[in-house]
């Protein structure tokens, strides 16, 4: 799936040569590639990409070829990859594992060919092996959602301090808000998940998963839930929609000296009274993408079965039906849609698959 020209019509399926790995790289056969909101921005020319480029950065697949030193990742290994996997490697940010913030970073799906294809090539040093064990291919597809989950983990585990019993408000019960609710619960927080009247099914899902202690569908109910729990207001608010009214609701119920975590992207210039943060001396903490450490924590949480991803893979479509899948994401009729390579996925047969613990 190639973005080759400006305008939403500048996308098409193309036949390309199979990629060849270079030193330290893996050739991966893609099992599933998930559609991210940034992929919508790419189609609509709302972010910079190096055209022509194969789209997609949220994926899971199996290594079918390696080149040189790949740090123990072998043919047959199952992997996921940090998207900004090409960077200078020498600046302070890279040395700290913050490659997403490197000024020379290049990401799969926007600067180099990505995962919405049968195969892609990625550096082994920014890829992470995941255990196959007795999981079915359907179970393995869920790892295509690892990257958005790792974005949440970075914000909750690495950017802010969450204490057991903290009152947390999450505004927006979409997939990122749902994941955030689960991750906050792993830190022992009391979670209030806020949505609109049309979000009742999503809110009920969060309640059924045990990731929300309270759900609300109006600002009045949100105020009541927050101030009943803590008369000073929420200790932490988390905005997960990228919509100004949602941000306004957060600033209305957060306590003085509280922490606001921004994970929703606004996608352009916005008009907002920033003194809302000044008035209460709120710490405004944006969280953009992931660090190397975020992936290690994320995979540990998944390995320990502390996060449930299955309800969020709402649609699976072959690559040839990418337009239908993208339309569903744009209309917000699904949590997550994944694209699958055409044909049947056949696992690589090796004499002994590596075991990762």
Is a pLDDT exceeding 90 seen at residue 266?
Answer: no
What does the CA dihedral 11, 12, 16, 18 come to, rounded to 10 degrees?
A: 80
Helix (H, G, I), strand (E, B) or coil at 27: strand
pLDDT per residue over 175-212, tens digit each?
999 999 999 999 999 999 999 999 999 999 999 999 99
Encode pLDDT of 19-29 as tens digits.
Answer: 999 999 999 99
> If pLDDT is split at 50, 70 and 90, which confidence band does 132 have?
confident
Dihedral sign for Cα atoms in the order 73, 90, 57, 259: positive
User: What is the reported pTM?
Assistant: 0.93
Q: What is the mean pLDDT of residues 290-302?
A: 96
What local confidence, expressed as pLDDT, does residue 321 receive? 95
Q: What is the pLDDT of residues 133-142, one digit of tens each?
A: 878 999 999 9
Q: Report how far residue 176's alpha carbon sits from residue 174's, in angstroms, rounded to the nearest whole number.
A: 6
**Planar angle of CA 127, 130, 135, nearest 5 degrees:** 150
- Going along the chain from its start, the domains and CATH numbers come out as 2-130+309-340 (3.90.180.10), 160-286 (3.40.50.720)
Element (H, E) at 317: strand 313-318
Predicted local confidence at residue 353, as pLDDT: 42
CA distances from 208 to 49, 96, 124, 178, 213 (A): 40, 38, 38, 12, 10
**Does residue 349 register a pLDDT over 70?**
no
pLDDT-derived band at 343 (thresholds 50, 70, 90) equals low
**Span 311-318, average pLDDT:** 95
pLDDT of 64 reads 97
> pLDDT tens-digit profile of 52-106?
999 999 999 999 999 999 999 999 999 999 999 999 999 999 999 999 999 999 9
Mean pLDDT of 126-154: 94
C-alpha to C-alpha distance for 289 and 316, rounded to whole angstroms = 24
pLDDT at residue 269 above 50?
A: yes
Instruction: Name which of 207, 196, 158, 152 is nearest 177 in CA terms.
Output: 152
Q: What are phi and psi of 123, to 5 degrees?
A: -65, 135
- For residues 325 and 339, what is the distance between their CA atoms, to the nearest angstrom? 8
Question: How many C-beta atoms surround the C-beta of residue 101 within 10 A?
Answer: 16
pLDDT value, residue 154: 97
Q: Which residues contact 304 (CB under 8 A, 6 or more apart)?
A: none
Q: What is the mean pLDDT of the chain?
A: 94
Is 79:63 a contact under the CB 8 Å cutoff? Answer: yes
Average pLDDT of span 254-280: 93
Contact present, 200 and 212 (Cβ < 8 Å): no
Whether the Cβ atoms of residue 88 and residue 104 lie closer than 8 Å to each other: yes
Share of the chain above pLDDT 70, in %: 97
């Amino acid at each position: 799936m190639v973005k080759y020209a400006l305008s939403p019509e500048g996308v098409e399926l193309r036949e390309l040569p199979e990629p060849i790995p270079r030193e330290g790289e893996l050739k991966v056969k893609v099992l599933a590639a998930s559609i991210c909101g940034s992929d919508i921005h790419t189609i609509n020319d709302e972010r910079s990409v190096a055209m022509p480029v194969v789209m997609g950065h949220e994926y899971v697949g199996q290594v079918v070829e390696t080149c040189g030193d790949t740090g123990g990742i072998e043919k047959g290994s199952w992997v996921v990859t940090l998207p900004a996997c090409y960077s200078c490697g020498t600046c302070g940010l890279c040395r700290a594992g913050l490659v997403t913030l490197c000024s020379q970073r290049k990401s799969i799906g926007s600067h180099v060919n990505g995962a919405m294809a049968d195969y892609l090539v990625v550096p082994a040093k920014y890829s992470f092996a995941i255990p196959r064990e007795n999981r079915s291919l359907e179970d393995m597809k869920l790892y295509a959602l690892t990257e958005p989950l790792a974005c949440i983990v970075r914000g909750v585990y690495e950017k802010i301090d969450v204490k057991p019993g903290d009152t947390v408000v999450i505004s927006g019960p979409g997939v990122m808000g749902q994941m955030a609710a689960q991750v906050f619960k792993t830190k022992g927080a009391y979670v209030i998940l806020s949505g609109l009247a049309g979000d009742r099914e999503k809110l009920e899902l969060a309640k059924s998963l045990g990731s929300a202690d309270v759900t609300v569908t109006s600002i009045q109910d949100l105020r009541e839930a927050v101030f009943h729990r803590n008369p000073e207001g929420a200790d932490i608010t988390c905005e997960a929609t990228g919509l100004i009214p949602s941000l306004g609701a957060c600033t209305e119920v957060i306590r003085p000296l509280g922490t606001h975590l921004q994970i929703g992207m606004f996608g352009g210039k916005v008009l907002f009274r920033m003194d809302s943060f000044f008035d209460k001396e709120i710490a405004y903490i944006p969280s953009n993408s992931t660090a190397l450490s975020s992936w290690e924590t994320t995979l540990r949480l998944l390995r320990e079965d502390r996060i449930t991803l299955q309800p969020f893979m709402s649609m699976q479509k072959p690559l040839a039906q990418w337009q239908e899948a993208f339309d569903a994401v744009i209309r917000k009729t699904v949590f997550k849609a994944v694209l699958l390579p055409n044909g049947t996925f056949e696992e690589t047969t090796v004499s002994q698959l590596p075991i990762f613990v």
